[in-house]
Amino acid sequence: MADSLAFFQDVQDPILDVGCGDGIPTATLAEQHRVIGVDFASTMLQRAKRSLSSTDFLRASIDHLPFQNGSVPAASCYFVLSDYTDRARLLSELKRVLHAQGKLVVADYSSNDEFNNLSDNLQRKVLGKDRGMFRLNSIALGNELERTGFRVKTSKEICYSLRTRLETFVDQLYLSSAGPEYKKKHLSEDQWGELLSEWMEGTEVHVTRRFVLVLAEKLYQEGR
Ligand SMILES: C[S@@+](CC[C@H](N)C(=O)[O-])C[C@H]1O[C@@H](n2cnc3c(N)ncnc32)[C@H](O)[C@@H]1O
């Protein structure tokens, strides 16, 4: 978020935070800017409104934003694109609403993110199915933005080490959307330890989280 705030330092408000979810990154942006949070899930927006009562929120889909061409100074999109195989439509809608030289921050899970890769493996092994997420790398995401009509200013991978006690890891898995299916398997702690052995260090699951971050500006095009 420090990179986002530095990149947005001189922008006019508002910043559109698309796919704002329950408003965690929105809250950081809102400390320094007027932000409009956009999400298509009303449950997410209700949660966001509860914690950020003075921020505006709008229910809309990223591929049909209710804003005129070139009317938005800046936008952010955190952890949304990896749900989509075809990101071109979402990115071109963001480009449509942004000012010429409007700023866009995109962050998402990297293809090297060990936590997601571990979760994918686990789901295939235990539940026999794919999680259906599309991971990016910073170069590929930068190229997609360039093809859509943005100039990439920065494109990088952000890493940090994450250690979670095995029982906490399993508890969190049970709270995920696949949680009920995992619970039905009634796996013991030893079985979980065995499944996660590659990632275990003592009693902890250890992974390196890796995210991609791209900071870009809409190219100035006469007449658009
Ligand atoms: C993984 S959450 C990320 C939430 C938040 N940006 C964050 O980083 O904590 C993805 C969010 O994007 C929203 N979303 C996904 N596709 C969307 C779309 N086409 N239009 C609007 N919101 C979308 C989901 O409802 C969800 O709240």
Say which residue the tokens 């509860």 belong to: 50
According to the model, what pLDDT value does residue 142 have?
92
pLDDT above 90 coverage of the chain, percent: 80
Quick check: 145 pLDDT over 50?
yes
Give the Cα separation of 132 and 148 in Å (integer): 24
**22, 40, 106: residue to mutate for ligand 1 pocket, most atoms within 8 A of CB:** 40
Topology of the domain comprising 2-218: Rossmann fold (3.40.50)
Confirm if 41 and 61 have CB atoms less than 8 A apart.
Answer: no
End-to-end Cα distance, the chain: 30
- pLDDT tens string 16-31: 999 999 999 999 999 9
CA 76 to ligand 1 center in whole angstroms: 11
Domain boundaries, the chain: 2-218
**39, 85, 133, 209: residue to mutate for ligand 1 pocket, most atoms within 8 A of CB:** 39
According to the model, what pLDDT value does residue 91 have?
94
CA 185 to ligand 1 center in whole angstroms: 29
According to the model, what pLDDT value does residue 223 have?
46
Quick check: 128 pLDDT over 80?
yes
Quick check: 222 pLDDT over 80?
no
The larger pLDDT score, comparing residue 131 to residue 106, is at 106
- pLDDT tens string 43-91: 999 999 999 988 999 999 999 999 999 999 999 999 999 888 788 899 9
Give the Cα separation of 78 and 1 in Å (integer): 10
Cis check: omega of the bond before 66, within 30 degrees of 0: no
The chain-wide mean pLDDT, for the chain, equals 92
Quick check: 151 pLDDT over 50?
yes
CA 64 to ligand 1 center in whole angstroms: 14
CA 216 to ligand 1 center in whole angstroms: 20
Give the Cα separation of 111 and 118 in Å (integer): 12
Q: Which amino acid is at 87?
A: R
Q: Which two tokens stand for residue 1?
A: 């978020």
Q: How many CB atoms lie within 10 A of CB 200?
A: 16
Residues with CB under 6 A from ligand 1: 19-21, 24-25, 39-41, 44, 61-63, 78-80, 83
- Bridge partners, 150 (sequence order): 218
- pLDDT tens string 165-215: 999 999 999 998 899 999 999 999 899 999 999 999 999 999 999 999 999
According to the model, what pLDDT value does residue 134 have?
77
Q: Which two tokens stand for residue 25?
A: 């990154």
pLDDT above 70 coverage of the chain, percent: 98
Measuring from atom 20 of ligand 1, which residue has the nearest CA?
A: 61
Q: Which two tokens stand for residue 188?
A: 């013991």
Residue 123, SS3 per DSSP: helix
Q: Which two tokens stand for residue 153?
A: 């200013």
CA 21 to ligand 1 center in whole angstroms: 5
Confirm if 150 and 96 have CB atoms less than 8 A apart.
Answer: no
**52, 80, 93: residue to mutate for ligand 1 pocket, most atoms within 8 A of CB:** 80
